[in-house]
Structure 1
Amino acid sequence: MKKIQINERRDFLKKSGVIAAAVSLGATSSLTAADSKIKNKLPKWRGFNLLDFFNPEADKGRKNPEKYFQWMADWGFDFVRVPISYPSYLDFDRSRPILREEVLNFDENRLQEIDKLVDTAHKYGLHVSLNLHRAPGFCINAGFIEPYNLWKDQEALDAFCAHWEMWAKRYKSISAKKLSFDLVNEPYMRADPNDQHSPGGPVPVEDYHRVAKAAVETIKSVKKKRLVIADGNSGGGVAVPELADLDLHQSCRGYHPHLISHFKAPWSYKDVDSLPTPTWPGEINGVMHNKQTLEKYYEPWVDLLRKGVGVHCGECGAFNKTPHDVFLAWFEDVLDIMHENGIGFGIWEFSGTFGILNSGREDVDYENWYGEKLDRKYLNLLMKYA
């Protein structure tokens, strides 16, 4: 892959250095004296999700050029989360839904594409969090027809563990400092798996515990020191203290209130044109939301830290329809709360509708950054915490 030219590199570092020097690196803490002694057992990773294998058809993924990894590192970020749809690395007939007998048809050529992403991230000093966004028997996104239910069927759980055993063995030689495993994205029970707007709620805790326990024991049997992370319940936002007895940590979300983070997102709302334009601070459905209500929302996650469970925010940010000034004001409060509690973050994407590059927002004066459209205000906000 073509490297950035030396002169471009010098210009890049010059620009980045000026910006970094101009941005405050601190954030005012509101923690009590007791809370200030809380130690997060997970590193304060800060970075982005990369969606190269988010699509079940890997060829349709967003392949991030090497320069993106370099820019992340040069801007002070140290983390990439890779949400993977498991069919993206299988060999089967894609003209129909996957069958039970096909869920372990690992395709070595496709697996090597994931290896390449991991290797490139490590080349630039970025920690990689490998996540099954769609796992055998479950995906938070509707429309995928799975042959069974991860939360209820033993055959699905056996396949789930087989996938994690494969990954654990494949990357056994990689240090836990460089690689972690995020078991399954955003556990959720939807009434109709094929309707994105169908009502739903948390996975029964006993089912989540059983699935997580089996998977973490499978991974640890291969490499005991591997860091394993479980997403919050009910779509990622609900802390799960019932998992505290397992040898894993947890991942929260930075999507509250949802009207701000997913304003006019068509996969979240049926009638996007009827939504009230959010403000921050402001009322949502008659309830005032501000930094204090955010602190209350994240308190269960701080309680996990007190129990000795590490916490990281695996996904956060906002869709490109949220007014930019509202988004930045809200998200600074979110990041400030995480910073105060030693919790790192992974923006949903680097380049795209949630990203700092090429987001397609209509209310941003983009900076031309080596041919990319850079949201400088957004980057400056993130660099306060990088």
Structure 2
Amino acid sequence: MNTPDSRRDFLKKSALLGTGLSLAGTTSLPAFDLAAKSKNKLPAWKGFNLLDFFSDHPDRGRPTKPEYVKWIADWGFDFARIPISYPSYLDIDRSRPIRPDEVLNFDESRLEKVDELVERCISQGLHVSLNLHRAPGFCINAGFVEPYNLWKDQEAQDAFCAHWEMWAKRYKGISKKRLSFDLVNEPFQREDPNDQHSPGGPVNISDYHRVAEAALNTIKSVKKSRLVIADGNGGGGIAMPELADLELAQSCRGYHPFPISHYKAGWVYKDPENVPPVDWPLKQGERILDIEEIRKYYAPWKALVDQGVGVHCGECGCYNETPHDVFLSWFGDVLEVLKENGIGFGIWEFSGAFGVMNSGRKDVAYEDWYGEKLDRKFLELLKKQI
């Protein structure tokens, strides 16, 4: 159980992190050393997203077992992205849509649960990327009602900045080598925010620039050295040279081509059972998509790296309905191209449909790993990148 004393102890230890020391004591920081030798200003961190606070309801997340973090570190990974739905750490009435007057009702007991996961990851030598997956006024997912629009309403922008000010102050003592902030997950404008299948596209770039700059300035006012990341536009995939004037790194995605990464995904397709079979290379009409197509896809991100903007792939992977051999063949090419450009990655989840553990794939001979179902072939593919 996390107590006020335990949190004070964590924040006291965090002050040591600000001086470059580690909760793990002797953990080195090779990723930043390697980044200095690469064109990419960001370290090529490699790891996983942890979905403890991904749900709006604090009791419906996907808890990360303590041994998961240890295994991630023991296998040589050094990165954990924590996507958070902001209502998960508020004291609100969850039986109805959230109101504007409630979006800053921070619940200390729920914030301490985030502290606990952050501390656990840092203590194992992982760099933590804290991300607002649902932010005041926006989420790429549908199925709930936000009280305003982050990209258009000043009140939403003010609330967004207030959340990041809270996190910046809370973790002020933690070094940028241990913690970064990923502003908002996958900016996107949907015609109907309540319909997951509604068409949409990129956020107006001037709106994104305004919101990102405001949040960046808020964070930097608390800790000037904090590393801040902006997700690519249009759902994460569109590089943004228009934001290069800001002191922001950028985060791409590893889901291209989408028909492979999200094959038969129910939140993507209205009729998933009738989606055509996939293979890799993938034939689309007269075109054959192969590793050269992936290189073309990442060319704008390579251009950002060449321009001096740090780039990391915050999310990547493949849904469990894609045939395993197709997935591994395709994803091996994705990882190769990311490596060519010095870009690290975060698999969407550690345990679950996209993960190396307990993915629920029907065509995998799982290895029993302390009672968990390990996809050894997937893990070994990832470990080749370390």
What is the TM-score normalised by the length of structure 1? 0.90
C-alpha deviation, 1:288, in angstroms:
1.5
Letter in 2 for 1:264: K
For each residue in 1:7-64, what CA deviation from the matched residue of structure 2 results, as whole angstroms up to 9, or x when unmatched? xxxxxxxxxxxxxxxxxxxxxxxxxxxxxx9611101100000000000111111111
The answer on whether the counterparts of 1:38 and 1:306 sit within 8 Å (CA) in structure 2 is no
Matches within 5 A, 1:131-142: 131-142=131-142
Partner of 1:98: 98
Distance 1:297 1:45 in 2: 21
C-alpha deviation, 1:144, in angstroms:
1.8
C-alpha deviation, 1:282, in angstroms:
2.0
Matches within 5 A, 1:256-271: 256-271=256-271
For each residue in 1:96-128, what CA deviation from the matched residue of structure 2 results, as whole angstroms up to 9, or x when unmatched? 000000000000000000000000001100010
Letter in 2 for 1:219: I
Matches within 5 A, 1:364-383: 364-383=364-383
Distance 1:241 1:281 in 2: 30
SS of alignment partner, residue 59 of structure 1: coil
List structure 1 runs of 4+ shifted beyond 4 angstroms: none
Letter in 2 for 1:168: A
Partner of 1:216: 216
Distance 2:58 2:45 in 1: 26
Change (3 A) 1:336 1:169: same
Any unmatched runs of 5+ in structure 2?
2-36
Change (3 A) 1:285 1:142: farther
Matches within 5 A, 1:68-217: 68-217=68-217
Distance 1:284 1:105 in 2: 49
The answer on whether the counterparts of 1:41 and 1:309 sit within 8 Å (CA) in structure 2 is yes
Distance 2:144 2:276 in 1: 31
The answer on whether the counterparts of 1:47 and 1:78 sit within 8 Å (CA) in structure 2 is yes
Partner of 2:241: 241
C-alpha deviation, 1:78, in angstroms:
0.3
Distance 1:185 1:203 in 2: 12
Distance 2:328 2:86 in 1: 34
SS of alignment partner, residue 186 of structure 2: coil
Partner of 2:318: 318
C-alpha deviation, 1:284, in angstroms:
2.8
Partner of 1:281: 281
Partner of 1:51: 51
Distance 1:69 1:93 in 2: 32
Distance 1:283 1:82 in 2: 35
Q: Which moved more, 1:279-288 or 1:306-315?
A: 279-288
SS of alignment partner, residue 60 of structure 1: coil
Partner of 1:363: 363
SS of alignment partner, residue 304 of structure 2: helix
Identity of aligned residues (%): 70
Cα-Cα RMSD: 0.9
The answer on whether the counterparts of 1:261 and 1:322 sit within 8 Å (CA) in structure 2 is yes
Any unmatched runs of 5+ in structure 1?
2-36
Distance 1:372 1:98 in 2: 37
Letter in 1 for 2:354: F
How many residues in Structure 1 have an aligned counterpart in Structure 2? 351
For each residue in 1:327-380, what CA deviation from the matched residue of structure 2 results, as whole angstroms up to 9, or x when unmatched? 000000000001111100000000000000000000000000000000000000
What is the TM-score normalised by the length of structure 2? 0.90
Partner of 1:22: none
